[in-house]
Amino acid sequence: MRLIFEYSKAGKEGFFVEEEEGKEIIPENLLRPEIEVLPEVSEREVVSHYLRLSALNYSVDWGFYPLGSCTMKYNPKINEEVASFFTEAHPLLPEELVQGYLRVFKELEEALKEITGLDAFTLAPAAGAHGEFTGIITVRNYLEARGERREVVLIPDSAHGTNPATAALSGFRAVEIPSDEKGMIDLEKFKAALNEKVAALMITNPNTLGIFEENIKEISRLLHEVGAFLYMDGANMNALLGQVKVADLGVDVIHLNLHKTFSTPHGGGGPGSGPVGVVEKLAPYLPGPRLVESNGLLLWEEAEGRIRSFYGNFLVMVKALAYIKELGGEGLKEVSEIAVLNSRYLRKRLEKKFKVAYPTETLHEFVLSDETFRDKISTLDLAKRLLDYGFHPPTVYFPLIVHGALMIEPTETESRETLDRFAEAMEKILDEAEKDPEVVKTAPHSTPVGRLDEVGAARKPILTWTQYKEKQD
């Protein structure tokens, strides 16, 4: 793949504007006195270059994307079409002119309440970590209104890295709770850490090992006894859809990743949506504005501050509501059943030659360790070699409590044939590690760019054509 500068030739032009005409089109304060080094190419060459670049993009539409913890699944294209019907309105229009839009908010809130069993939702948070922050701030607002000063948020050692960051940003001190031999929260160590200074426990369920926390109701009871709350990171909700309402587990607060579980392609920074649901006593402390109905009209009513401008990433919500309505209750239940079935099938295929981190049965994802191959190749080597077999690698080196982790989530949208091909590629790489480890250690070999010096790229990035030419010279 050639750089666009390599097509450049002095004097080529893709778009020409007379100098005086250009001044009319472009404001003078935006004009450069001199043009720095830019490629001189024709319009045809620009189009060809960017089309070739786009063909190098890997996506869930192109192939299997088994990133654990991310739920990178195929999403129905009809939902994109539905979202396109809602692109005209400005968020500052009077409420009476956008009642259809507000009805989408209302119906989605009601659907999420039904799915989770919780009493109230805000749709404002822009994504998952933002939802975490919103949920913990809601807990803090409640405690402060009661005059309670609590300092601690408990966090399992297998948690997403955003959890301790959220606790710190919300003014709490994060205290880590270790996992037991089953990969769940160590109940005795949790009890030892629990006291009146604790505001909440942030738990992911199923956790980042793909394991359902079997003691969650007992954990919730113990938290409530000392006046603390159970916060659930809902990143893995696709394993529970239609199977259980989290309110029945004793959960007080949850954020849901609409862009993971409810149909929005995500990655590359967005778009996302992280609605937060709470039990009734926390509802008045959710950030505003909150949607209320008055005289047959839906209206925005200010509440406890704002968490972001306007009302959230609306088109993501449209797609989520379309997804929920298309599938219905039984369809959502089937989503979780197939997600778990696919994951368990793939785990059974791979555990013949790979070491599963914990022996406990898993749900929608599972984690392998590097125990069976660490003396020959690294986890990164295996991940890079997968690219040569046409697969995007799974999540690597997370969760941190597993040495050389490979975190795999096949999702509900992949076929058995795809899972078999992925398992065969993983097994072939193990065979290569035995017979010819160098071919794995130097992978990938068939991609446009080969094995990179990642440390060098991070410390001495080449960001300009001038830097590139200097390095070539």
pLDDT at residue 348, as a whole number: 98
In a domain, 104, yes or no: yes
pLDDT at residue 467, as a whole number: 85
Say yes or no: 195 and 310 in one domain: yes
- Is the CB of residue 91 less than 8 Å from the CB of residue 311? yes
Chosen domain end from 326, 347, 372: 326
Mean pLDDT (the chain, rounded):
93
CATH number for the domain spanning 213: value is 3.40.640.10
Distance of CA 426 to the CA centre of its chain: 25
pLDDT at residue 21, as a whole number: 63
pLDDT at residue 106, as a whole number: 97
pLDDT at residue 269, as a whole number: 59
pLDDT at residue 342, as a whole number: 98
More confident residue, 57 or 124: 124
pLDDT at residue 57, as a whole number: 83
Q: Give residue 454's pLDDT band: very low, low, confident or very high (50, 70, 90).
A: confident
Q: Give tens-digit pLDDT for 181-202.
A: 999 999 999 999 999 999 999 9
Q: Give tens-digit pLDDT for 155-183.
A: 999 998 899 999 999 999 999 999 999 99
Say yes or no: 49 and 170 in one domain: no
Say yes or no: 424 and 318 in one domain: no
Decide: residue 437, CB within 10 A, 0-12 exposed, 13-18 middle, 19+ buried. Answer: middle
Q: Give residue 34's pLDDT band: very low, low, confident or very high (50, 70, 90).
A: confident
Q: Give residue 56's pLDDT band: very low, low, confident or very high (50, 70, 90).
A: confident
Q: Comparing 63-72, 111-120, 210-219, which segment has the lowest mean pLDDT?
A: 63-72
For residue 81, give every residue at least 6 positions away whose Cβ sits within 8 Å of its Cβ, in sequence order, or none: none
Say yes or no: 398 and 450 in one domain: yes
In a domain, 65, yes or no: no
> What is the C-alpha separation between 438 and 260, in angstroms, rounded?
37
Say yes or no: 168 and 101 in one domain: yes
Q: Give tens-digit pLDDT for 117-157.
A: 999 999 999 999 999 999 999 999 999 999 999 999 999 99
Chosen domain end from 277, 293, 326: 326
Cα end-to-end span (Å), the chain: 19
pLDDT at residue 23, as a whole number: 64
Say yes or no: 290 and 369 in one domain: no
In a domain, 64, yes or no: no
Residue 112 scores a pLDDT above 90: yes
- Is the CB of residue 360 less than 8 Å from the CB of residue 351? no
Q: Give residue 335's pLDDT band: very low, low, confident or very high (50, 70, 90).
A: very high
Say yes or no: 399 and 310 in one domain: no
CATH number for the domain spanning 395: value is 3.90.1150.10
pLDDT at residue 268, as a whole number: 62
In a domain, 256, yes or no: yes
pLDDT at residue 267, as a whole number: 64
In a domain, 473, yes or no: no
Say yes or no: 443 and 398 in one domain: yes
pLDDT at residue 2, as a whole number: 82
For 203-229, what is the mean pLDDT?
97
pLDDT at residue 297, as a whole number: 96
Say yes or no: 16 and 93 in one domain: no
Strands 198-204 and 229-234: parallel
pLDDT at residue 465, as a whole number: 80
In a domain, 467, yes or no: no
Three-state SS at 260: helix
Beta-bridge mates of residue 356: 368
> What is the C-alpha separation between 135 and 129, in angstroms, rounded?
10
Say yes or no: 202 and 297 in one domain: yes
Q: Give residue 25's pLDDT band: very low, low, confident or very high (50, 70, 90).
A: confident
Q: Give tens-digit pLDDT for 311-322.
A: 889 999 999 999
Question: Structurally, how many domains does the chain consist of?
Answer: 3
For 6-27, what is the mean pLDDT?
76
Residue 374 scores a pLDDT above 80: yes
Residue 31 scores a pLDDT above 80: no
Range of the domain at 370: 338-457
Say yes or no: 302 and 426 in one domain: no
For 45-70, what is the mean pLDDT?
89
Residue 22 scores a pLDDT above 70: no
In a domain, 62, yes or no: no
In a domain, 462, yes or no: no
Say yes or no: 261 and 401 in one domain: no
> What is the C-alpha separation between 240 and 257, in angstroms, rounded?
13
Q: Give tens-digit pLDDT for 243-302.
A: 999 999 999 999 999 999 998 877 665 689 999 999 999 999 999 888 999 999 999 988
Decide: residue 289, CB within 10 A, 0-12 exposed, 13-18 middle, 19+ buried. Answer: middle
